Amino acid sequence: MERRDVALHLGREATALDLANKQVADDGGTEYTFDRLLLATGGAPRRLPGSDATGGIIYYRTLDDYVRLRDLADTRARFAVIGGGFIGSEIAAALAMRGKDVVMLFPEAGIGAGRFPEDLARNLIDYYREKGVDVRPKALVDGVTRQGDTFIVRARRVDAEQVEEIPVDGVVAGIGIRPNTALAQAAGLAVEDGIVVDERLRTSHPDVFAAGDVAAFYNAALDRRLRVEHEDNANTMGKMAGRNMAGGVARYDHLPYFYSDLFDLGYEAVGEFGPTMEMAADWQEPYRKGVVYSLQEGRVRGVLLWNVWDQVDAARQLIAEPGPFTRGDLVGRIPG
């Protein structure tokens, strides 16, 4: 990094940001001055209530988490995966594909509920069970305790009080993150479910920029502010923030996409999905290949490409169109 004139200060945490004097202090007492500053502080995983003292729960956010789970999977057989979202669905599938005994618990009625149509989310439960995963929807985890090398997951149905104790060799929890905004907020920067940035990724201070999971940016196609926790957003936003910090004036109009692989199924998606939106499915093969659209007041807000590839740009273009669209208008609109 010396050839790039970059100095790395590893193992340090920024603890204070002084905007008036353009200084950052770290936990070792060192102060750094800046002309322009990028905040890419990411997020911290939500943790299971009352389980911090247990130790050993893998929240799967870092390289170390990956190494721990890989090493554990080399020697142990039974795992609990808590959460039915991105991390939960991917980890449950990956462990089952390695021949592990997996129990998957989440409070929603289906895998990916709230993002996928209700019928698809429920169908995924049957699909995962066919692949050998013990899927338990509508399950609440009351806590995790430890007895030697064994974890005891205490779980119950959302509509019941009876608690079941599930012994496993490892626990992975993917229950979301909270954006790390404390440094920005203490410095007086605008924060609203993330650090608020303008079209050039500047915060409320013109010489401080933000990017990645922590940045809340306005997207013109959706006409709303977003905060996106996915690779495409982090990579694209980080590059543009760097260019603009160096004097560029580019606008961040990018609508990020996200993707996942679930056993033999894979998808790419762009835009937004939610329980209040109308879902319109154009299946070539029900629940195995097709395109699902989310609509709000006749406008396409999101496109889910289910085992359909190389159509993300077409999906972005459709979201940018004002419509109005009906279900019939969307049949065959994006080819599979």
Q: Do 228 and 304 sit in the same domain of this protein?
A: no
**What pLDDT does 276 receive?**
84
Q: Do 154 and 193 sit in the same domain of this protein?
A: no
State the DSSP code for 108. Answer: S
Q: How many CB atoms lie within 10 A of CB 9?
A: 10
Residue 110 phi/psi, 5-degree rounding, is -150, 165
Determine the residue type at 182.
A
pLDDT in tens, 222-235: 999 999 999 999 99
SS3 at position 212: helix
**What pLDDT does 54 receive?**
66
pLDDT of 210 above 80 = yes
Residue 49 pLDDT grade (very low, low, confident, very high; cuts 50, 70, 90): confident
Domain boundary among 193, 213, 245: 245
DSSP strand pairing (31-33 vs 23-26):
antiparallel
CATH number at residue 171: 3.50.50.60
Which secondary structure element, helix H or strand E, spans residue 215, and what is its range? strand 215-219
Q: Is residue 53 part of a domain?
A: no
Residue 226's domain comprises 2-41+182-245
| Alpha-carbon torsion (56, 57, 58, 59), positive or negative | negative
In 3D space, the residue among 181, 15, 12, 150 whose CA is nearest the CA of residue 79 turns out to be 150
Task: Pick the range with the lowest mean pLDDT from 58-62, 215-219, 246-250.
Answer: 58-62
**Cα maximum dimension of the chain:** 63
**What pLDDT does 205 receive?**
98
Domain boundary among 177, 199, 216: 177
Residue 235 phi/psi, 5-degree rounding, is -65, -50
CB 64 within 8 A of CB 178: no
pLDDT in tens, 141-155: 998 999 888 999 999
Q: Is residue 141 part of a domain?
A: yes
What is the mean predicted confidence (pLDDT) over 313-329? 93
Number of independent structural domains in the chain: 3
